[in-house]
Structure 1
Amino acid sequence: MAQEIATLAGGCFWCTEAVFNDIEGVSQVESGYIGGAVADPTYKQVCSGNTGHAEAIRVTFDPDVIGYAELLDIFFHTHDPTTLNRQGNDVGTQYRSAIFPHSPEQEAAAHEAIRRAAEAWPRPIVTTVEPLSTWYPAEDYHQEYWQGEGQSNPYCLAVIPPKLQKLRKSYAARLKATAAV
């Protein structure tokens, strides 16, 4: 089974990870940092907004089950791509909406997805397409956060369930059997 990788930043990586973990054809979602100037950044450094990194996810998927373009459509549907350096109460460049393509084909698909999103959203899309750079996995306690500690985190309880409801309503046919609740 051939696997591909999509790297996406759509605000808090706990939220985007929770969404993409439920998608059929996705075998792994890893939270991490990309797009900055500091080697081996920590969560605290990235949260300061001074490293240039985005909180992001690296999605490993089977393109025979779900295509990159559809992953991008889900990405645009489950976060707000119209708010510059912000998702809800999370403010700063680390929460920017960005796509980091792994190939020229992914780059072309990213620009096409932005065009499609622009037709669906009432405000201009601010999502950037940025060059792929060094990926730094987030600390272990950030991985699979929603499935563990996130269930008792008030921020997560306020933000993640509405994203999952939106996903389940609009992409029910694309959910893993374990997620179709």
Structure 2
Amino acid sequence: MSSPLPYHLFETPLGWIGIAWSERGLTRLQLPERDRAATERRLLATLPGSERGEPVERRDEELPAKIAETVALLRRYAAGETIDFSSVAVDLGNADDFRLAIYDAARHLGFGETTTYGELANRAGHAGLARETGQALGRNPVPIVVPCHRIVAAGGKIGGFSAPGGSLTKEKLLELEGVRVGPPPPAQGSFGF
């Protein structure tokens, strides 16, 4: 059994965010739930616990330098600052080549820049696979760093979002970046900022 996967929870203007990482980079980013405990539960439910040992929470002073930098960037982003996450190392585990291409293309979108699922598929070298692109983004383990919220549906509609709060969360992140899109579909849960 390898060493336990470390994780950290921290408060931001958006709420509590949780992250986990490996020696290769960020492995998970949990967007805010209704409170710290709910964010932690959701984060831990996504961590591969059995083969890595029990996850271990780290305190601020125990964070590796690169992870502390990532936390600082996320706090600044949540406060409305223009942040570029392209330098943040990510460990996407066993993501297949298609997902890796989609995530890489999404990471090339700048702060406040949006594109459609179909156009992102084109940029990733997978023309005609808009639906599959949406599915890949729905499995994105590190939202914000891989900015799946910047991908919108054709016709300027907001499209779906698999994070807590669904499309309302996506709309909030886009507004934080100065982007206004059409009205979201009906709420998909009880979460909302």
Structure 2 length-normalised TM: 0.24
Structure 1 length-normalised TM: 0.25
Query: 1 or 2, which has the higher strand percentage?
Result: 1
Which fold has the larger relative contact order, with Cα–Cα distance below 8 Å and residues 6 or more apart in sequence?
1
